[in-house]
Amino acid sequence: MTAIAPGTLPKSSPRGSAARARLLRGLLPALSLALVLIAIAWLNPRAISYFGFTLMLNLAIPIALATIAQMFVIAGNELDLSIGTFVGFVGCITATWLREAPLLGIVVLLGSIGAYALLGALIHLRNLPSIVVTLGMSFVWQGLAILVLPKPGGKAPDWLLSIMSFKPPYIPFPILAALLIAAVVHFGLMRTSYGVILRGSGGNAAALRRAGWSLLRTKIVLFALTGLFGVLSGMALIGITTSADANIGNGYTLLSIAGVILGGGEFVGGRVSPIGAVIGALTLALAASPLLTFMHIPPDWQVAANGAILIIVLAARVLISRRER
């Protein structure tokens, strides 16, 4: 046994290919985005400009924020089916109380983040399926939104309007905002020492508990972060649309889930990527309407085209992954 030279040990080939596959998977969201951009550039070259991007990516900021919100719960192996109506609720508060009685508005929004934290605690302590709890909460947020703003209307606070219509030099605001969101969340979740604990709680909760960490705390933090980014998403949305409607955010639940998955995230195991999620959200925002308008898709079939794009992007992902093998 002593004569064995280290060099005779098996080479780490399976691990190397696993790492390569992961790298490529990590690049896929960016490739999908590039593909959609190329399609747009080909169909309408004038869209690829400062104003073109500002216009096309207008709604990308709230979508990206909602996707990040969804990503935090997914990192902890949960799912939030209420994020869409929550964004709508925040929108209604933003367009009414936050303008008319800022202090009350701020308190209510902070309270709603607190509600998310409590929900996390409840889900952990009672070992509840988050899908059902958030399904129930989606009714609650929608009901509250209707109570706050029974008819579409209201107006965004002026400071919010001016933030969202900010025109920085050279780089369109939505792109700048997306970069900022991705960088901040990537640092927080992927680089800090507590971010490791948060992701670990999705990877192997039992191991974390044995190492003395509180799983109640990780769940509360993850849900509170979801609430925080949900609030930001709702405010950003109203800053763009200027007025609110109780149903304004309903589509965001599915968009946010699709964004996380397009961005390379997985439903279980704490495998998520903030940068990927933001890219996934941008892809969805671009594919959703600008691309279809340029392609002259009749309104009846726009929804179908959305579905088809989602399928094509994912199919491309599978093809590339397979070739890698």
Partner 1 sequence: MTSVRTLLEKPWIWSFAGALVVWLATVAFTGGYGAGGMVTAALSLAVFTVIVGVGQMFVITLGPGNVDLSLPANIGLASAVAMKVMGGSDSMIVVGLLAALACGAAIGAINYLLIWALRIPPIIATLSASFIIQSVDISYGRGLQIKPSPGFADFTNRQVLGIPVLAMLTVVFTIGAALALQRMIYGRSVLAIGQNIRAAWLAGVHVGRIRFLTYTLCGALGGIDGALLAGYFRGANVDIGNEYLLASIAVVVIGGTSVAGGKANVPGVWGAGLFLVLLLTMLNTFGVSAGVRLVLTGLIIVGVITAAGGEKAVR
Partner 2 sequence: MLKANTDIVRLNGAEKHFGAVRALNGVDFHVGAGECVGLVGHNGAGKSTLMHMVAGTLRPDGGQIAVRGNQEASYSVARALELGIRCVFQELSLCPNLSVAENTRINHPSLAGFGWRRRAADLIRAKLDEIFPDHGISADDIAGDLSIGRRQMVEVARAFTLTREPLHLVILDEPTSSLDAHTAGQLLSFVRRFVEQGGSCILISHVLGEVLQNADRIVVMRDGKVVAADAANAFDRDKLVAAMGGAEGHQKAAAEARKVEAGALRVRARPARQQDDKELVARAGEIIGLAGLAGHGQTDLLLAIFSAASRAKAGIEVTAPVALVAGDRQSDGIFSQWSIAQNIGIRSLARLRSGLLISPQREAELAEFWKQKIGIRTPDMNNNVFSLSGGNQQKALFARALGSDAEIVLMDDPMRGVDIGTKLEVYDLLREEAAKGRTFLWYTTETEELDNCDHVYVFKNGRIVANLGRDELTEEKIIQSSFGDAA
**Cα pseudo-dihedral 156, 138, 112, 204, rounded to 10:** -130
The whole-angstrom separation of Cα 274 and Cα 284 is 15
Of positions 28, 261, 279, 284, contacts partner 1 by CB under 8 A: 261
Residue 310's binding partner among partner 1, partner 2, none (Cβ under 5 to 8 angstroms by kind) is: partner 1
HEC string of 224-245 equals HHHHHHHHHHHHHHHHHHCCEC
Q: With CB under 8 A, what is the number of residues at the site for partner 1? A: 43
Per rule CB under 8 A, is residue 216 in the interface with partner 2? no
Residues 182-211, one symbol each (x = binds partner 2 by CB under 8 A, - = not), give ---------x-xx-xx-xx-xxx-xxxxxx
Of positions 65, 73, 237, 258, contacts partner 1 by CB under 8 A: 258
The H or E element that residue 87 is part of is helix 83-95
Per rule CB under 8 A, is residue 322 in the interface with partner 2? no
Closest Cα to residue 254, out of 82, 118, 38?
Answer: 82
Q: Report which residue type is found at 82.
A: S
Q: Which of residues 241-280 bind partner 2 (CB under 8 A)?
A: 269-271
Q: Report which residue type is found at 121.
A: A
Of positions 108, 254, 271, 289, contacts partner 1 by CB under 8 A: 254
Closest Cα to residue 130, out of 87, 72, 81, 89?
Answer: 81
Per rule CB under 8 A, is residue 135 in the interface with partner 1? yes
> What number of CA atoms fall less than 13 Å from residue 61's CA on the CB side?
26
Which residues of this chain interact with partner 2, rule CB under 8 A?
Answer: 1, 4, 6, 8-12, 14-15, 18-19, 22, 191, 193-194, 196-197, 199-200, 202-204, 206-213, 269-271
Which residues of this chain interact with partner 1, rule CB under 8 A?
Answer: 122, 126-129, 131-133, 135-147, 150, 254, 257-258, 261, 266-268, 300-308, 310-311, 314-315, 318
